[in-house]
Amino acid sequence: MNMKQAIQTIAYRSIYTVTYVISLLPMVFLYVMASFTFFLVYHIIGYRKAVVFQNVARSFPEKRYGEVHAIVKKFYACFVAYFAEIIKSISAPAEVLDRKIIFENLELIDQYVNSGRNVIACLGHCGNWEMLNFMPYKIPHEIYAVYKPLRSGMMNRLMIKLRSRFGMKLLADSAVMRYILSKSSRPAVYLFLADQCPRIKDERYRFSLLNQETYFFSGMEKLARKGQTAVIYLHITQLLKGNYKIVCVPICSNAESTTDGEITQKYIDLLAENIREEPYGWLWTHKRWKR
């Protein structure tokens, strides 16, 4: 181990230890910390406030300023609370999380996997999507979260540690195509956060989302069709503060039988429905329409 690796290891262990100790604090105290953070982020710093207001206003042109303002304010309050919940999940007993995270229609995944088919579970940045790290505790199948590795090796290692507590496996986006196609003999579930802005514009994957022209990644659909996978959408909503419901919604049982763009369009329709049901829950700070 060279000096750089040694420093990164020490930093990783120190940050993880501190975070774990904080996670042992009562949830009430963590929410108090989140409220103070909300005051700083929303009222003092104004983190990406202009971006959030613009995104919400353009997405809901029928809403008046007061309604837009209410959505924005609640978004920031939920956003900081999500971090408190993520920290708590580092040490919270599985039994506690099981009461707070309700899954519906998991039988759909069982049906597809037991029939020998891989499942692509696509979702958006809705609610506290990080709570899906608990999903492997609920089903007896391998689950992979497709992610983009962080530039910092130390932070990337920390992220993997936090997300894999209940058995979630992380798979780099650059390797997912090769991995799925070479692992067809052992069906599994692959989670895709598919609502980010692609760097390369593919005109075939230009759609309308929330009244705005929007480009989507074509990789998820192309992979689904090439791998003949089943595709579902994970609909995430907040029941109460810190309590979530995740519903498995079918998109197709065999992507090979769909037409080009069909899966993406169904995904967009379900994502838009998810956002409209809980508009404050989506990640509005993301510069989704910067291009």
In a domain, 289, yes or no: no
In a domain, 286, yes or no: no
In a domain, 62, yes or no: yes
Which range of residues forms the domain containing residue 205?
3-281
Distances from the Cα of 223 to the Cαs of 8, 55, 136, 191, in angstroms?
35, 30, 22, 13
- For residue 219, report the phi and psi dihedrals to the nearest 5 degrees: -60, -40
In a domain, 288, yes or no: no
Question: Tens of pLDDT along 226-278?
Answer: 988 999 999 999 999 999 999 999 999 999 999 999 999 999 999 999 999 99
Task: Show the tokens assigned to 287.
Answer: 């510069």
Question: Tens of pLDDT along 72-121?
Answer: 999 999 999 999 999 999 999 999 999 999 999 999 999 999 999 999 99
In a domain, 291, yes or no: no
In a domain, 114, yes or no: yes
In a domain, 287, yes or no: no
Report the number of distinct structural domains present in the chain.
Answer: 1
The pTM assigned to this predicted structure is 0.94
In a domain, 150, yes or no: yes
